[in-house]
């Protein structure tokens, strides 16, 4: 079926998701002009941009799951240039929580919905070239605490001793999946014990293997995202579904 015919039958949300699956490029491109969208699709697009404007940012990392129960989605990056929103990165597949999206508590296996600021980038490897964001190297002595009884809950802690003497549950930050990563500021200010912890963007195990709640990409695509994030634009990550973004 020709793409122009498809545009008559899909909503903007599904259109963007479909394009995300079909296209794999990081070339900057303008948003589809109004003559390629139906009136309804153009209205949905403008509504999405209006939501972006309310975030007080000039860069949005948009993560979209097909629905709340799926672990597969896409990631796009929009930049505001001269008053207009433009796509910088399109079509990056991501995997999400094993139980879908809509996190409400620790250990539920879901990726949180909503809009969040971004924390520091991190990794066990040396800082990649081209990064504008702060980068924090991690070693075997770095941990992220997810023990709900600990005062260190949802915080990174450096500990030279035995971590089992301090916490009942934690993540080792020298995990190969954390060769590169970035903190998503979910449940960080304030920290509410039991609401969920350790939400990152990081390297995936495989394109068909979900996470415990994080957003994961291939290593190459994750590096593209990290290199594109510009702290001068006050970037925000928005996580939603096709029907609710």
Which residues are catalytic, by number? 202, 214
Length, in residues, of the chain = 245
Whole-angstrom distance, CA of residue 65 vs CA of residue 240: 6
Say how far apart CA 125 and CA 64 lie, in whole Å: 28
SS3 state at 13: helix
The angle subtended at Cα 18 by Cα 12 and Cα 22, nearest 5°, is: 140
Closest by alpha carbon to 236, among 84, 96, 78?
Answer: 78
Sign of CA dihedral 130, 19, 118, 218: negative
Q: How many CA atoms lie within 13 A of 212 on its CB side?
A: 11
**In degrees rounded to 5, what are phi and psi of residue 22?**
-80, -30
């Amino acid at each position: 079926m020709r793409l122009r015919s498809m545009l008559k039958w899909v909503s903007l949300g599904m259109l963007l998701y479909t394009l995300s699956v079909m296209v794999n490029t990081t070339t900057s491109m303008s948003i589809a002009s109004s003559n390629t969208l139906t009136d309804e699709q153009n209205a949905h697009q403008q509504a999405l941009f209006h939501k972006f404007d309310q975030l007080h940012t000039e860069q949005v990392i948009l993560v979209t799951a097909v629905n709340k129960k799926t672990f597969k989605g896409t990631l796009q990056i929009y930049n505001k240039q001269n008053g207009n929103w433009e796509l910088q990165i399109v079509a990056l597949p991501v995997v999400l929580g094993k139980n879908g999206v809509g996190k409400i508590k620790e250990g539920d296996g879901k990726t949180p919905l909503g809009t969040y600021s971004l924390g520091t980038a991190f990794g066990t490897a040396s800082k990649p070239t081209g990064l504008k964001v702060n980068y924090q190297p991690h070693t075997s002595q770095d941990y992220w605490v997810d023990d709900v009884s600990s005062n260190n809950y949802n915080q990174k802690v450096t500990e030279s001793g035995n971590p089992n003497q301090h916490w009942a549950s934690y993540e080792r930050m020298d995990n190969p999946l954390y060769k590169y990563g970035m903190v998503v500021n979910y449940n960080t200010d304030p920290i509410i014990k039991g609401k969920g912890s350790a939400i990152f963007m990081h390297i995936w195990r495989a394109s068909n293997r979900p996470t415990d709640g994080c957003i994961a990409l291939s290593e190459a695509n994750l590096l593209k995202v990290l290199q594109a994030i510009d702290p001068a634009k006050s970037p925000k990550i928005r996580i939603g579904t096709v029907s609710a973004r």
